[in-house]
Structure 1
Amino acid sequence: MSPARFLDPTGERYGIPTYGWGWAKAFDPDLLTRSQLRAQGLRPGGQQPVAQLMWRSRRARDRSGIRIAYLYDRRRAAPVRPMTPARREALAAAMRARRTCPTCETVYPWCIPTSLGECPACAGLEARAA
């Protein structure tokens, strides 16, 4: 299926300018996804998406098989806020909580699987593997 299927630079069909995978740069090189902005040390800065990418994917969350990525204008983006000591401590505490088993209270070097809710030893998976 061609990316031109999703081409709607005026926004008539989808309500917002829409491009197929890899086509946005051809129309406006300043349109970037959140990840691309972050790689350049920028953030959307409160602006609404100015366009979107659409493409077919088997990894789509709904049955339509279509994924969407919103695009933001680099010229209106703001710099990423600097990491403060309090923010750094809060992130470290959150990660420590994700690595701590609620049952045995052991802190692991990896995050506890959310599917188990506890470490594999407490979930009884290590006994089954043996």
Structure 2
Amino acid sequence: MRTGDFDPQENDDLVDVDLYASTEPQVTIPVYKRNQAPEGLATRRQLRAMGLSIRGLEVVAEVETRGPKNGLLYEIAKAKPVRPMTLAQEFALDRAMAARQTCPECRRRFYGCLKTSLGICLECHDGTPVHRSSYINAPADPKAA
């Protein structure tokens, strides 16, 4: 073997490096059984029900659930109030909901969303009568003008 050629038995200073490994230390968080989480911790949905947001919060623990994923727990004391919705956001949300609740054929807006499999209300689909209390506004009558 020539000088300068690689010989693995002679070079003991080589290190195997994983380029994709995290450089931060692995931190483990506590996992609690269902309904066993300590006071002061809440899930995202529980925080939202209290009018609080998880923005800027870090996960402090997990709670076991029936499903494949565990629920993440956040500190209630560090949670911030939910920002109020602007008028533009409220208007956009109302337009989106109106699109889901309005029958394209009879133009009635229902209180609930229409079935996406049908795309129209039941009365327009198969003639099933719709009760007056199930929709918000009556269709505009073109003959009334």
Q: TM-score, normalised by structure 1?
A: 0.63
Q: Give the length in aligned residue pairs.
A: 104
- AA aligned opposite 2:50: Q
Which stretch of structure 1 is more off in the superposition, 66-75 or 34-43?
66-75
Cross-structure match for 1:17: 30
1:114 match: 116
Displacement over 6 Å in runs of 4+:
none
Q: Which has the larger radius of gyration?
A: 2
Q: 1:55–1:94: structure 2 CA closer, same or farther, 3 Å change rule?
A: same
Residue type matched to 2:45 in 1? S
1:82 is matched with 84
Q: Provide the C-alpha distance between the structure 2 equivalents of 1:125 and 1:68, rounded to a whole number of angstroms.
A: 46
**1:103 Cα deviation from its structure 2 partner:** 4.1
Q: Secondary structure at the match of 1:111?
A: coil
Q: Which residue of 57, 60, 70 maps to 1:47? A: 57
CA distance in 2, matches of 1:34, 1:125: 43
SS in 1 for 2:56: coil
Please say if 1:31 is aligned against 2:44: no
SS in structure 1 of the partner of residue 92 of structure 2: helix
Distance 1:109 1:39, change over 3 A: closer
RCO comparison, higher one (Cα < 8 Å, 6+): 1
Which stretch of structure 1 is more off in the superposition, 33-42 or 106-115?
106-115
Give the direction of change, closer, same or farther, for the CA distance of 1:93–1:77 in structure 2 (3 Å limit): same
- Equivalent position SS for 1:24: coil
Q: CA RMSD in A?
A: 2.7
Structure 2: state its 5+ residue gaps. 1-26, 130-145
Are the aligned partners of 1:45 and 1:76 in contact in 2 as well (CA < 8 Å)?
no
> Which structure has more helix as a fraction of its residues?
1
Q: Which amino acid aligns with 2:49?
A: A
Cα-to-partner distance string for 1:40-77 (whole Å, 9 max, x where unaligned) = 22110133432222133xxx4xxxxx453221122332
- CA displacement, residues 21-51 of structure 1 (integer Å, 9 cap, x when unaligned): 11112xxx22101122122221101334322
Would you say the 8 A contact 1:50–1:73 is kept in 2? yes
